[in-house]
Chains A and B, each alone.
Chain A
Amino acid sequence: MLSTGKLRPTLGLVRRPWCASAAGIHSSGRRLHNPDEVDLFDFRYTTPFVKNLFVGKFIREQVFPFPRLNQQDYDQLQQMVDPVERFFKDDVDSAQIDTDAKIPAETLQGLKDLGLFGMQVPLEYGGLGLSNTEYARLGEITAIDGAIAVTLAAHQAIGLKGIMIAGNAEQKAKYLPKLATGEHVAAFALTEPSSGSDAASIQTRATLSDSGKHFLLNGGKIWISNGGIADVFTVFAKTEVVDSKSGEVKDKVTAFIVERSFGGITSGKPEDKLGIRGSNTCTVHFEDTPVPIENVLGEVGGGFKVAMNILNGGRFSMGSSGAGIVKKLIEQTAEHATTRTQFDRKLMEFPIIQEKFAEMALRAYAMESMAYLTAGIMDRWPGGSPDCSVEAAMVKVYSSESVWSSVSEALQVLGGLGYMKEYPYERYLRDARILMIFEGTNEILRMYIALVGMKFAGDILKEKLKELKRGNIGVILQTVRQRWGSGFGMGPSHGFVSEDRFIGDGFKAHPSLTAGAKLLEENVNNLGTMTETLLARHGKGIVEEQLVLKRVADITINMYAMTAVVSRASKAVVMGLPNYDHEVLMANTFCQKTYNENMQMFHDLGGENTDAAVQKIGKDILKTGNYIAAHPLDRTHDFDNIDVVPPQR
């Protein structure tokens, strides 16, 4: 889970000068004419954006300009948005779905007829073949009903994704067509009672039969979305694998495509949940289920990687779905704030209320900017399939927490009314709570973000250290300049704010975003230095320093959000979108607020903080098993006899 595939640390000094690439010159010497043209062999494309921040590198060509669709794709997407929006407005009764804890059959069929069960399945298998960007856009609409959103996601974002990314041609041709139309529903079966976050510890077993023609599956999975209605499961089980090098027999996870019709599969009754009640969640048991060996997904023993690739691929869309919910709430809640009068004034005139709406809007703006930036990086990466798992994880963490706080604030604006079941706020709140838990808990994802980033930085710094030892002048000068520069608050200029009014090469922010961009630049420098400091301080032991890692993760999530927001606002100005000045204000304000948060965290990382004390308190409480402090009213017997000298008047 902590490795990220290709990690080819490069120093930038080995190839052509930084300034040449910055000016948009191809390795062949040809000028790059438009920002969508990229140099396939450019070192800047060895790894997507966020990991490079950990070494203080901001690769602006990857995030400027903000990704955009061409006119044809955009028009077609707009066309698709209409019927889906109308369906959700007219034919989806979310309140009823929540009360009945069931999505009606007609609604489910309507979703299938619209084509929503095969959005990313390739055209040749009967799906819509949508890109990540287009999928994210439709996710904004399906999110209006949490239960439906989760049912769709469980089916295609994880349920059948395995077949799409790891399946061979026969498996794809056999399963994808019926899954794309929704004739068959899919589910993702990984979690077990003793294995949630620790996915590698699953105990379901698949043993090869004597004939060698199939595996026998035995075990139980819990909390499987669509578990009761699925016809096709992607099941993860332990298989015996013989290590080719050592000859040792090991237990490794393998992924299987399992059809309910194989037999031996029982689904439990639907769980009674706090939220997303219309989504079917239940236990699934396998008893001697025969799975033909042709149904192994990927390699035997390679299941863990398949699971991680599946989960990493879908996370980013939580940004757009979250934004869809928050934007809708802003509209509904604003109606109340503009009509409700108290103390002879409308609620909207009170600054406290204004702040709530600003906070919701800023978070929605950041969420969707991050989601579409990530989708855009994935869609336009030359050669396809970049590893954007860290970016996706950042989007998920930020969005889940932002949706929770925004829904809570929207409910608060309505006061008592928000608390009543008559209004949908309590349902939105209950539905939103799961976002921080499933698809990788936010705690685990924070550790993942921080550790992957630190490992990337660590590998590069190791290389640098080697060069330093060899006496490479270039590296020494660069290191000194970096240290010297950041020490005085003037880091190496990343030059991503254009000096002139006309955007020169499109790989920069518009000058109206200078305020925000400068703050981001400062944070990038701070992070580069801080990473080195932390690695020097803790070394390999940093893995155990979760409170440190948590701050690093939060800082980098904030920085990614700032990047997305600045890039998007730049695009709005350059394109002349309506209300671009509002966007510029939002972007600069967001950057200022987030910078302030980051500086506090940098301060805590650099010097004194309460971590050790906090950990001790926590450990003591957990050892005892309850609250330790004596009751406020507790007393001892002899206290009254002790001489207490009153203060002299």
Chain B
Amino acid sequence: MWPIFDYGRFVSIISSSDVYGVVWMRSLAQLHKMANLRVLVGVKRVIDYAVKIRVKPDNSGVVTDGVKHSMNPFCEIAMEEAVRLKEKKLAKEIIAVSCGPAQAQETIRTALAMGADRGIHVEVTGKSIDGDNNQTGQMTAALLDWPQATFASEVTKENDHLKVVREIDGGLETVKVTLPAVITADLRLNEPRYATLPNIMKAKKKKIAKHKAADFGVDLTPTLEVVGVEDPPVRQAGQKVESTEELVAKLKDSGVV
């Protein structure tokens, strides 16, 4: 039976340096390693999600001139998660990176206002919008040979790795990734904060390093050519049926069954 409160023994356990000391120091090392984490967040300048997209008359792409652009909402979610990691003292530095035209700097500034410490802008000419390709995170992990956890809807630290809950078609999948790793954000990961006006002003002092793709020896010759862009077909009106028999009859008529 343990005494309810034996100060004497309690104090001696705390102060004994052997067992406790080793565990304590190991935890410190782990904490130290976590706190040394640097987070690189990719942010992309895309057409604002609320804008009605219009296809150019020559079907070569969508209209981007004079159209409102902002940070991709998923990039905002990623930035928010990075800032939360830093607030929990799990990350030391957040770097926002964007590959794009000169205006991409506005997006990096927004990231700085949300809490990134510095930015990197790689100047890349040419038009680009969010193509919904779902490949950047995966390609990055492959090139770096790092583990990846995509469609993250929850990220928690556990000792020296991250536990990530992923949203997949069948439901939720939980994976463990060792660090360093690549994570991509999904909609329900968090609710991004507004870049407050005082933070926007403070962001002015933060640095954005400018580079060109050639600086990294990267060849940008496209290997893909967009042949055409079209509006999705106009949705056909549905039909209401009164009974199962009618439904089967209609399906048979249209040759589906």
A interface residues (Cβ-Cβ under 8 A, vs B): 75-76, 78-80, 82-84, 86-87, 110, 113-116, 119, 123, 128, 578
Give the distance to chain B from A278, nearest Cβ to Cβ, in Å: 21
Q: Which of B92-139 contact A (CB under 8 A)?
A: 106, 109-110, 113
The residue on B at minimum CB distance from A86 is B194
Q: Are B200 and A76 in contact (CB under 8 A)?
A: yes
Known: A79-B106, A87-B194, A113-B194. 6 other contacts (CB 8 A): A76-B201, A78-B106, A79-B109, A86-B194, A114-B197, A578-B66
Q: A119–B197 Cα gap in the complex (Å)?
A: 9
Q: Which of B32-81 contact A (CB under 8 A)?
A: 66, 70
With contacts A82-B70, A578-B66 taken as known, whether A75 is within 8 angstroms of B106 at the C-beta atoms is: yes
Q: List 26 A-B contacts (CB under 8 A).
A: A75-B106, A75-B109, A76-B201, A76-B204, A78-B106, A79-B109, A79-B113, A79-B195, A80-B197, A80-B200, A82-B70, A82-B195, A83-B194, A83-B195, A83-B196, A83-B200, A110-B194, A114-B194, A114-B196, A114-B197, A115-B198, A123-B201, A128-B197, A128-B198, A128-B201, A578-B66
Q: Are B200 and A79 in contact (CB under 8 A)?
A: yes
Q: A78–B200 Cα gap in the complex (Å)?
A: 11
* A83 proximity list for chain B (CB < 8 A): 194-197, 200
Give the distance to chain B from A175, nearest Cβ to Cβ, in Å: 18
Q: A482–B161 Cα gap in the complex (Å)?
A: 86
Contact of B197 among A78, A110, A115, A578 (CB under 8 A): A115
Q: Are A115 and B196 in contact (CB under 8 A)?
A: yes
* B198 proximity list for chain A (CB < 8 A): 115, 128
* A84 proximity list for chain B (CB < 8 A): 197
Q: Are B197 and A116 in contact (CB under 8 A)?
A: yes
Q: Which of B200-234 contact A (CB under 8 A)?
A: 200-201, 204
> Which of A78, A79, A110, A578: most chain B Cβ within 10 A?
A79
Q: A84–B113 Cα gap in the complex (Å)?
A: 14
The residue on A at minimum CB distance from B70 is A82
Q: A29–B36 Cα gap in the complex (Å)?
A: 63
Q: A11–B113 Cα gap in the complex (Å)?
A: 52
* A87 proximity list for chain B (CB < 8 A): 194
Q: A427–B66 Cα gap in the complex (Å)?
A: 32
* A119 proximity list for chain B (CB < 8 A): 197
Q: A113–B194 Cα gap in the complex (Å)?
A: 9
The residue on B at minimum CB distance from A84 is B197
Q: A256–B5 Cα gap in the complex (Å)?
A: 60
Q: Are B110 and A79 in contact (CB under 8 A)?
A: yes
* A116 proximity list for chain B (CB < 8 A): 197
* B66 proximity list for chain A (CB < 8 A): 578
Give the distance to chain B from A334, nearest Cβ to Cβ, in Å: 15
* A76 proximity list for chain B (CB < 8 A): 200-201, 204
Q: A128–B109 Cα gap in the complex (Å)?
A: 17
Minimum-distance CB pairs A-B, first 8? A115-B197, A83-B194, A115-B198, A83-B195, A114-B196, A80-B197, A79-B200, A115-B196
* A75 proximity list for chain B (CB < 8 A): 106, 109
Q: How many A-B residue pairs have CB under 8 A?
A: 41
* B70 proximity list for chain A (CB < 8 A): 82
Q: A84–B195 Cα gap in the complex (Å)?
A: 9
Q: A83–B197 Cα gap in the complex (Å)?
A: 8
Give the distance to chain A from B78, nearest Cβ to Cβ, in Å: 18
The residue on A at minimum CB distance from B195 is A83
Q: A615–B106 Cα gap in the complex (Å)?
A: 61
* B110 proximity list for chain A (CB < 8 A): 79, 82
The residue on A at minimum CB distance from B103 is A75
Give the distance to chain B from A627, nearest Cβ to Cβ, in Å: 55
The residue on A at minimum CB distance from B112 is A79
* B106 proximity list for chain A (CB < 8 A): 75, 78-79
* A79 proximity list for chain B (CB < 8 A): 106, 109-110, 113, 195, 200
The residue on B at minimum CB distance from A83 is B194
Q: A208–B110 Cα gap in the complex (Å)?
A: 53
Q: A390–B57 Cα gap in the complex (Å)?
A: 51
Q: A87–B196 Cα gap in the complex (Å)?
A: 10
* B113 proximity list for chain A (CB < 8 A): 79
* A78 proximity list for chain B (CB < 8 A): 106
Q: A82–B195 Cα gap in the complex (Å)?
A: 9
* A578 proximity list for chain B (CB < 8 A): 66
* B194 proximity list for chain A (CB < 8 A): 83, 86-87, 110, 113-114
* B200 proximity list for chain A (CB < 8 A): 76, 79-80, 83
> Which of B197, B198, B204: most chain A Cβ within 10 A?
B197
* A113 proximity list for chain B (CB < 8 A): 194, 196
> Which of B109, B113, B201: most chain A Cβ within 10 A?
B201
The residue on B at minimum CB distance from A578 is B66
Q: A79–B195 Cα gap in the complex (Å)?
A: 9
* A82 proximity list for chain B (CB < 8 A): 70, 110, 195
Q: A215–B231 Cα gap in the complex (Å)?
A: 74
The residue on B at minimum CB distance from A79 is B200
The residue on A at minimum CB distance from B66 is A578
Give the distance to chain A from B221, nearest Cβ to Cβ, in Å: 32
* B204 proximity list for chain A (CB < 8 A): 76
Q: A115–B197 Cα gap in the complex (Å)?
A: 6
Q: A78–B201 Cα gap in the complex (Å)?
A: 12
The residue on B at minimum CB distance from A138 is B197
* B197 proximity list for chain A (CB < 8 A): 80, 83-84, 114-116, 119, 128
* B109 proximity list for chain A (CB < 8 A): 75, 79
Q: A83–B110 Cα gap in the complex (Å)?
A: 10
Q: A115–B202 Cα gap in the complex (Å)?
A: 12
The residue on B at minimum CB distance from A116 is B197
The residue on A at minimum CB distance from B204 is A76
Give the distance to chain B from A130, nearest Cβ to Cβ, in Å: 9
Q: A79–B105 Cα gap in the complex (Å)?
A: 11
The residue on B at minimum CB distance from A181 is B198
Q: A75–B204 Cα gap in the complex (Å)?
A: 11
* A110 proximity list for chain B (CB < 8 A): 194
Give the distance to chain B from A141, nearest Cβ to Cβ, in Å: 12
Q: Which of B137-153 contact A (CB under 8 A)?
A: none
* B201 proximity list for chain A (CB < 8 A): 76, 123, 128
Give the distance to chain B from A450, nearest Cβ to Cβ, in Å: 39
Give the distance to chain B from A2, nearest Cβ to Cβ, in Å: 38
Q: A627–B195 Cα gap in the complex (Å)?
A: 60
Q: A543–B204 Cα gap in the complex (Å)?
A: 52
Give the distance to chain A from B256, nearest Cβ to Cβ, in Å: 36
Q: A139–B109 Cα gap in the complex (Å)?
A: 23
The residue on A at minimum CB distance from B109 is A79
Q: A114–B113 Cα gap in the complex (Å)?
A: 12
Give the distance to chain B from A163, nearest Cβ to Cβ, in Å: 20
Q: A110–B66 Cα gap in the complex (Å)?
A: 30
Q: A254–B200 Cα gap in the complex (Å)?
A: 39
Q: A76–B198 Cα gap in the complex (Å)?
A: 11
Q: A128–B66 Cα gap in the complex (Å)?
A: 29
Q: A86–B193 Cα gap in the complex (Å)?
A: 11
Q: A376–B194 Cα gap in the complex (Å)?
A: 29
Q: A72–B55 Cα gap in the complex (Å)?
A: 33
Q: A86–B204 Cα gap in the complex (Å)?
A: 21
Give the distance to chain B from A47, nearest Cβ to Cβ, in Å: 34
Q: A578–B66 Cα gap in the complex (Å)?
A: 9
The residue on B at minimum CB distance from A89 is B50
The residue on B at minimum CB distance from A123 is B201
The residue on B at minimum CB distance from A118 is B198
Give the distance to chain B from A155, nearest Cβ to Cβ, in Å: 15
Q: A75–B112 Cα gap in the complex (Å)?
A: 14
Q: A114–B110 Cα gap in the complex (Å)?
A: 14
* A80 proximity list for chain B (CB < 8 A): 197, 200
Q: A152–B179 Cα gap in the complex (Å)?
A: 47
Give the distance to chain B from A231, nearest Cβ to Cβ, in Å: 21
Q: A84–B200 Cα gap in the complex (Å)?
A: 12
Q: A75–B201 Cα gap in the complex (Å)?
A: 11
Q: A128–B196 Cα gap in the complex (Å)?
A: 11
Give the distance to chain B from A142, nearest Cβ to Cβ, in Å: 12
The residue on B at minimum CB distance from A72 is B204
* A114 proximity list for chain B (CB < 8 A): 194, 196-197
* B195 proximity list for chain A (CB < 8 A): 79, 82-83
